[in-house]
Amino acid sequence: MNFAVLQFPASNCDQDAVHAVRLLGHSARLLWHKESSLGDTDCVIVPGGFSYGDYLRCGAIARFSPVMQAVKQFADNGGLVIGICNGFQVLTEAGLLPGALIRNRDLQFHCENIFLKTATNDSPFTSQIPAGKILRVPIAHGEGCYFADEETLAQLKANNQILWQYCDANGNLTDTANPNGALQNIAGICNEQRNVAGLMPHPERACEPLLGSDDGKWIFESIFAALKNKTAAAAV
Amino acid sequence: MKAKIIITPKKAVVDPQGITVKKALEHMGYTGVAGVHIGKYIEIDLAPGTDKAVAQKALNDAAFKLLSNPVIEDYNLEIE
């Protein structure tokens, strides 16, 4: 499978994402933000970092880059897109995902390991996560507090679009386990069509035991499985 | 001619900066502060001879698409 990892000025998790995909046995390449075509791509990763210096708002400028127009088209045609951290912010700014990410409620930048509960296995990004498995993955952000108005939040719930929520080690969705004040402990969501997802935590930084956890690989394994099914379906 | 755009967080959005500053003001002894909302101020210099109505329309569009995020922010645009 071919992964395209976008690279904006001041992306800084792009190499990590490429490393994680390759480590797990697939091919990945960096794609500069000025490119207007995705080429041969099965899945797009919008990586973490501080694209365009987080000027104006996180992700606000990146969404207008040429590559994002191609990503939008790719997503509209059903292509799989995942935004991690700043990538999540870019996707909400671009309107590919609902809601917004605002300043952490305590105004602090949080760089720590957190626990994630998978709210549904019904998505290309969560299907392979073992039932009941609590993922231990790092976060590193100052503006990761998920916000959406009541109507949007109700839609997210009704359509089962909440994919991951912050929890304690036992899987309880407590307020203490919520690092940034996100509504409903939301750490990641998908769009209504379920082919675009975003999350604040960094699964790409937790794909090998050397890094303290390899729980993040389950998210990538889910994507690989979805792409495999897609290829098999296309071949029939 | 200048365009002045003031961007403020929507009322429904928690504004941790505003809350912290409100607490600081209270701590300093300033009374009667019912709320603090922290936003952004953007000033845009318009080229000489720009038509005000045309600029108003274009900047409203820009404020909606780029300068503010309508999910979390409101804006007020003035050209003078």
Question: Which residues in chain B (34-53) have CB-CB distances under 8 A to chain A?
Answer: none
Q: Which residue of B has its CA nearest to A64?
A: B66
Smallest Cα–Cα separation from A85: which of A65, A58, A63? A58
Smallest Cα–Cα separation from A92: which of A78, A107, A80, A102? A102
Q: Give residue A178's pLDDT.
A: 98
- Check CB contact under 8 Å for A107 and B72: no
- Burial letters for A84-108: b for 16+ Cβ neighbours within 10 Å, e otherwise? bbbbbbbbbbbebbbbbbbbbbeee
Smallest Cα–Cα separation from A142: which of A64, A65, A211, A48? A48
Q: Give residue A231's pLDDT.
A: 86
Q: Give residue A235's pLDDT.
A: 82
Instruction: Please give the interface size between A and B, counted as residue pairs whose CB atoms are below 8 Å apart.
Output: 38
- The H or E element containing residue A232 is helix A217-235
For the residues A115-123, what does the mean pLDDT come to?
A: 98
Mean confidence (pLDDT) of chain A: 97
Which phi and psi angles does A63 have, rounded to 5°? -65, -20
Q: What is the ipTM of this complex?
A: 0.85
Q: Is the pLDDT score of A50 beyond 80?
A: yes
> What whole-number distance in Å separates Cα of residue B37 and Cα of residue A57?
17
> What whole-number distance in Å separates Cα of residue A84 and Cα of residue A61?
17
Q: Which residue of A has its CA nearest to B72?
A: A100
Full-model pTM = 0.94
Q: Give residue B19's pLDDT.
A: 94
Q: Annotated active-site positions of A, please?
A: 85, 202, 204
- Work out whether strand A110-118 and strand A134-141 pair parallel, antiparallel, or are unpaired: antiparallel
> Are A135 and A118 a contacting pair, CB within 8 Å?
yes
Chosen from A52, A54, A57 to mutate, greatest number of chain B CBs within 10 A:
A57
Q: Is the pLDDT score of B26 beyond 90?
A: yes
